Amino acid sequence: MHLRTVAHVLPAHELNMGAFRVYQPLPTQRVDQIDPFLLLHHFGPFEVEAGGRDPLDLGPHPHRGFEPVTFLYQGAIRHRDSRDNTGHLRGGDVQWMTAGRGIIHSERGSKDFMETGGTVEGIQLWVNLAPADKMVQPRYQDLKTDDIPTVDLGGGAQVKIVAGNLNGTQGAAQTHTPINAWQLTLPPGATAELPVPESHNLAAYLLDGGIATGGGFDYAARTLLYYRNDGTGIQLTNTGNGEARALILSGEPIGAPVVSHGPYVMNSQTEIMEAMRDYGKGKFGFYVEE
């Protein structure tokens, strides 16, 4: 395997999102997207008090033109949308939502979790849709941790294949363009070598620190590594004393113009204006609380 080299090291910066903070390594001033990946938010870990106020309460809001994906590492979240989908995520679960032509949804801490309290941690990723798929029908995929295939890499290293394919194991999610989304876990001292299609753009988000690449550099937690398209795979080694986690993302670039405004991601300013108009006319459906 010819290892790819790192083009950009993108440390996450803190953003206030209402009652809680997120860490954002993408987009940045240097890198506005890693086509087809548009945005990555790492929230938590933080503690929720039993019976306290819900810091995760993201009330009904619209999306069009892309796919918001939530990887929940700890805690419990309830999803509800205008297509009459309800999802209850617990630690290890993933929700892959295709906004397509338009959807309204909310995300909140689940009722039982808010009653007992606990730790919350997760990642929200925005995946772009190609121009031909911008106006597809919305879709909601509720992927339970037990249904996400796991590949054993040896030495205790494991990868959960959320989307794409690794060594013949097919991921759980259906995607509109070729995408790999792998959740890597490395015990202390373990090394993982992961093949990646040469045509894919590639990034690795390090949730935990003490991870080194094949080039010998050691990186801190909450860092996104953006790789050059100069090899057939990557190598990551846990140089720390505890378990290390990384989210590996690769995808076939779409190569289309990206124009975004708040919750809409389209290909032109005209399409953004149409999205705002259609939302105002009720064309995204109607959100009904349970």
Domain harbouring 179, CATH code: 2.60.120.10
Residue 76 inside a domain? The answer is yes
Q: Per the domain annotation, does 268 fall within a domain?
A: yes
Highest mean pLDDT among 77-81, 84-88, 246-250: 246-250
* Average pLDDT over every residue of 172-176: 98
How far is it, in rounded angstroms, from Cα 1 to Cα 272? 43
DSSP β-bridge partners for residue 87: 79
Residue 188 lies in a domain: yes
Tell whether 121 is in a known binding site.
Answer: no
Q: Is 105 annotated as a binding residue?
A: yes
Average pLDDT over residues 85-91: 95
Q: What is the pLDDT of residue 52?
A: 83
Q: Does any domain span residue 14?
A: yes
- Amino acid code (one letter) for 11: P
Question: pLDDT tens digit string along 12-58?
Answer: 999 987 667 899 999 999 999 999 999 999 999 989 989 888 877 78
Flag whether pLDDT at 75 surpasses 70: yes
Q: Note whether residue 224 is domain-resident.
A: yes
pTM: 0.96
Q: Is residue 289 part of a domain?
A: no
| Domain, as residue range, for 195 | 6-280
Confirm or deny that 42 is annotated as ligand binding: no
Determine, yes or no, domain membership for 85: yes
State pLDDT tens for residues 200-251: 999 999 999 899 997 778 999 999 999 999 999 999 999 999 999 999 999 9
**Residue 1 lies inside a defined structural domain of this protein:** no
Q: Does the annotation flag 61 for ligand binding?
A: yes
Domains in the chain: how many in total? 1
Q: According to the model, what pLDDT value does residue 289 have?
A: 72
